[in-house]
Amino acid sequence: MPLSPDQIAEIEAARSTPRPTLRAVSEGMEAHLYRAQEVLDHGFIRVIDYMGDDAAIVQAARVSYGAGTKHVSNDEGLIRYLMRHWHSTPFEMCEIKLHVKLPVFVARQWIRHRTANVNEYSARYSILDREFYIPAPEQLAAQSTVNNQGRGAVLQGAEAARVLEVLKRDAGQAFDSYEQMLSQEGQQGLARELARMNLPMNTYTQWYWKTDLHNLFHFLRLRADAHAQYEIRVYAEAIAACVKDWVPLAFAAFEDYRMGGVTLSAKAIAVLKRRLAGEVVTQEDSGMSKGEWREFEGIWG
């Protein structure tokens, strides 16, 4: 269970005592505040706090007072213009703080996004819980034969069972050793900061992660993409669901121009213009490398 009964009771108590405020409030985000959304087998994300809404983006762009314009369509048009022309600063006016519980190997991939504030659970100070990420059978896949950093065919039958058994056995043995090395009654034991070093990468950790909307969109563009690793993608998708309710106008523009859009090189634009003029263009006379041409044809045919 990602949350204990005591943690659930604490969250419900916080939600049952709302406070009046004069700051901008997003009704969509208020519904997510504090609630934990389960991810993977023991993980979760939950919104701890946020600042701003769609109107805050508009205010920053116009350097105006109060709310945005009286016409939502005007605000939407401005937000789409900002997104379309890569004017990122107004989106930095909105911030979100998340509590995330995730496997260590996912955390190490996540932390590559350096434009955020992070405070992680300290295994030097506290003893970790006996919780490991064990993939569902449908996520056990062989190495891709065409992508060095991707998955191929899903493992079946005895091979899948063998791998699952190895994952469970090794994680359990590593944690048994971790507990045995810790200082306990009757033995001096090993310091927590040293005892943790043999724990596997699928051990769960937790952190508070705070970032602004511009950098969060960059995170989602990469990690919610279909090509991202499954284990981090499901976290990104859970966050994206919250962001969609928080800033619906900005998120719609993000989906349109970032998630659903493509960036063309000068050479690709030139090829498209030649094709529209009726010319037959091949890779050899396009000026593109074979890799560029393959990606170009994957989108445009």
Which regions of 42-170 does DSSP assign to beta strands (E)? Answer: 43-51, 95-103, 117-120, 141-143, 151-154
Which regions of 114-176 does DSSP assign to beta strands (E)? Answer: 117-120, 141-143, 151-154
Q: How far is CA 160 from the centre of its chain?
A: 28
Annotation says 223 is catalytic: yes
Cα separation, 235 vs 105, in Å, equals 13
Residue 90: what are its φ and ψ, rounded to 5°? -60, -30
Q: CA distances (Å), 69 to each of 116, 204, 275, in order?
A: 31, 45, 43
Considering the candidates 192, 223, 233, 274, report the single residue annotated as catalytic.
Answer: 223
Residue 91 CB-density burial (10 A; 0-12 exposed, 13-18 middle, 19+ buried): buried
Q: Are 123 and 192 in contact (CB under 8 A)?
A: yes
Residue 179: what are its φ and ψ, rounded to 5°? -65, -35
Cα separation, 106 vs 120, in Å, equals 13
Read off the DSSP letter of residue 132. Answer: B
Both tokens of 223, joined, read 């990690």
Q: Which residues are annotated as catalytic?
A: 223
